[in-house]
Chains A and B, each alone.
Chain A
Amino acid sequence: MGQINNTRLATSTPLNLLTGFPIFPVGTSLNNPRFPIQIGLGQPSGTTSNTIFNRTISLGFFRLTGTTTASVIAGAFFGFNLGYNVQGQTRNNGTASLTVSSDSAQGGLGFGVGIGVSLTLRVEENILEFSFRNGFTNSWRNFFTTSASVNIDLIDISLRVMRLLGVNVPLERLQAVRDTVGSGDIWGLFSSNSSQFASRGNMTLSPRVSVSANILPRIPVFGKVISGLKKIGGKVKAGPAINIIFPITIQIVRLTTEDGNYAFSTRSGGTFNFNGGPVGTLGPTVSSVQVTHSHTVGIEFGLELKASVSLWSVFSISGGVRVPLNLGVNVTRPDIRLGPFFTALRNDSQTALELPEVVWG
């Protein structure tokens, strides 16, 4: 029988958001789990540029062309940390038990959505000309053109709008991660939980954010366009609709010591029971403790940028583009559950790193 002394297993000490488990660790299995790695650098994605609409219509004696484009940069990190204390024993009959306590986890997504919005409205006037050679001919003469273009931190503006309206969104600016990534503001969306292994047998993190807002009035450079349209009864709107929801469920599935592997069988409170381990006489103490977990991720995300221009009740042009977020995995369908993925902690593999400057909401 081997005694497992009280041991702290954690992705880092203290827990931070630079080191942890990626939410989608590639190529893992029960026999090949992922150990903690640096997750704070993330994978900044490329820039995507989209035309929301580009439309020309005849309106009275005029021809109106509206063009709205947007470019987006997204991506930072995507992972979670985990820590807990274990103590227990292995037995000569191949069974083992572990009592888990002081468990906690933080998981989330850091992302930056820098958006360059360009809005152009051009009005041309129809000119009727007459000549004896060609008779009556129509042509178009530029009447006025107004445009505005600005790079904005989409999340920052959206949050300001939502907070003004009393809507609380659990996003916070991550100063340290921005410095690490090197460009643009990075916003973090997190969920943290603790003491769930004893009560539920698993740990669930549920980071989520939903934002929907018309942000143009909050961007000074668009003020002239908005007020100009207002004089003639026109309305212009643009803004994001964001959904990021990814519940992560973590379960303990295996105990590994220097003697061999034990598979999880039952749980009673905070005590996890294992079987299938080596049968025979064991040493009095266990020196190497590794706990393997599985996790699944239900993921639903969407970022859509919309814009519309309307005039009286005569015409309305609207459009939207959906922007993929680089989350380190090729997700083509919304609202899916991915996994299981396998990760592990052991008592001799902890990495101590400097705690990043994270402002919690």
Chain B
Amino acid sequence: MAAGASLTGCGGSGGGTSRAGGMTPLANAYRFLPLASAGASLPNSESIMAQASAEGDLPFMGGVMLNDRRHVCFHATNANGKHGVFEVDYEPDGQVDPIKHLISEGDVLPDGTLVDDVSGGYLNNDNDVVFVVSSESGETLQYSSAGAPFQRYFDEYDDVSPQCRLYGDLRPEVGLTDSDDLLFVCGYRDQEDRAMGEGLFYLPQGNASETTLLLGEDQLLPGSSCAIRTFGLCQIGSTGEYLIQGTAAPVETQANTDDDGNPLSFLARGRVGESPEVLVAHPALGINQAIQGSVDMGPRLGPDGYAFIVSTGPDRTQLYLNQTKLLDAGPGDIGSLTPRGARIISMFPPVFGPNGLMFIQVFTTEGTEILAYNGSGFSSILARGDSVQGKQVEMIVFGALPCCVNSFSELVTVVEYSSGESAILLGIPV
């Protein structure tokens, strides 16, 4: 057992925790067990790097994802310093299958692509994965369905559909749903070959020829006189709803940074076929109906809502669930308190589990914790100093990235122990 789950809400200044009823019961505790450890054997007589190298390579870097089939994909570096993505399956009782290879640096994919770098990727509940793969000749979106060989969806200069004539700069982060709807950002050109800047594209159910442009550069943000200038991180839900982060510029000034060079960022929520709404906007954009602030971190969609981190200053961030502020983070007394009483300095974006549960990794004066929120209060499920199979957790490296929780509330995370070893942990609610 790592930690008992206490249903105390977060205290601290400005916590704003909702204590309304109708909450989802949280597990009493989480049992953590290692799915893969540094130094573990990989296929083809290889092994995961045992410890961080002098060159800065780390055994597990790039995140870990799991789905409802209890299938896990994780990024790791092998003993030769090559980075790749590997797979492992586990049973409900925690029994773990051998690690399998998925894709790594130096692989030659069926389309001839020599892999140089692999993006974070996305795993859905059908065991389909997508990665943006970098090679000498640019970037391609590669797709594998349930263990089948990778196939190229498109490269960054393909004419994917009449509305989607790509023109370079494919962003590494993409969104994928269980029905193979894909959301991605790439430069594009129009029918007359003019470079149109960046576009946010929706590829429905694997039908590339029906890819449509949802939002494009220079398009006005709804309800404003601000034109979109760049796109950042995006996420798509199962019914076509999406979140997109980016920067914009007032039409009058054309400037998309403030006087200090800070990007004039926005966060918008939309649904395919509908006009989006702006949730958060930098004050200089003058979109008063939106929450005022910057959004640099990835927004997260859940079955019943959305969450995001708003920056209100260089050291200050706030967690919002829908339109409600839940946590503050910052120096001194600004930060909210965790259930264990630690003051929150900063936090990563949250991730949603089943039934409205939300998980978030926070960084505190005592270390770091993964918190769970059930609509009523927070509980701490793993923190620095907790013991997992006799080893003391020193650092949680990736606590709550996208796809790290499945519908059974099982979660995967990367930790480093006080001994210097690192491992991918599976958390099973008990």
Contacts and interface: CB of A to CB of B under 8 A. Distances in A.
Q: Do A and B bind each other?
A: yes
Interface stretch (A40-48, A70-78, A227-235): A227-235
Contact of B345 (A51, A126, A312, A320): A126
B314 interface: yes
Interface stretch (A2-10, A59-67, A261-269, A341-349): A59-67
A319 interface: yes
B233 A212 contact: no
Size class of the contact patch on chain A: 35 or more
A54 B368 CA distance: 28
Contacts, number: 165
Contacts of B263: 53, 55, 317-319
A304 interface: yes
A166 B158 CA distance: 11
Nearest to B172: A235
B298 A315 contact: yes
A85 interface: no
A231 B83 CA distance: 8
A312 B398 contact: yes
B315 to A, nearest CB: 5
Contact of B297 (A61, A137, A314): A314
Interface in B242-261: 245-247, 254, 256-257, 260-261
Nearest to A60: B363
B181 interface: no
Interface stretch (B9-17, B19-27, B186-194): B186-194
A308 interface: yes
B276 interface: no
- Which of A60, A138, A245, A316 lies at the interface centre, i.e. has the most chain B CB atoms within 10 A of its CB? A316
B285 to A, nearest CB: 14
B345 A61 contact: yes
Given A231-B58, A233-B63, A314-B349, A211 B194 contact: no
Contacts of B368: 60-61
Contacts of B401: 312-314
A329 interface: no
A319 B187 contact: no
B63 A318 contact: no
B261 A54 contact: yes
Given A56-B314, A210-B193, A138 B247 contact: no
Interface in A240-290: 241-243, 245
A55 B398 contact: no
A208 to B, nearest CB: 8
Q: Which of B62, B138, B194 gathers the greatest number of chain A CB atoms within 10 Å?
A: B194
Interface in B345-388: 345-346, 348-349, 363, 365, 368
A237 interface: yes
B315 A306 contact: no
Listed from nearest, the 8 A-B pairs whose CB atoms lie closest are A54-B261, A316-B232, A58-B346, A318-B230, A210-B195, A138-B331, A51-B261, A212-B195
B122 to A, nearest CB: 9
Contact of A61 (B55, B229, B363): B363
Nearest to A126: B345
A277 to B, nearest CB: 42
Contacts of A56: 314
Contacts of B230: 306, 308, 318-320
B83 to A, nearest CB: 8
A231 B55 contact: yes
Contacts of A156: none
Contacts of B126: none
B195 A233 contact: no
Residue among B83, B193, B349, B402 having the largest count of chain A Cβ atoms under 10 Å = B193
Nearest to B62: A233
Contact of B231 (A165, A208, A210, A318): A318
Interface string A306-333: 1010101111111110100000000000
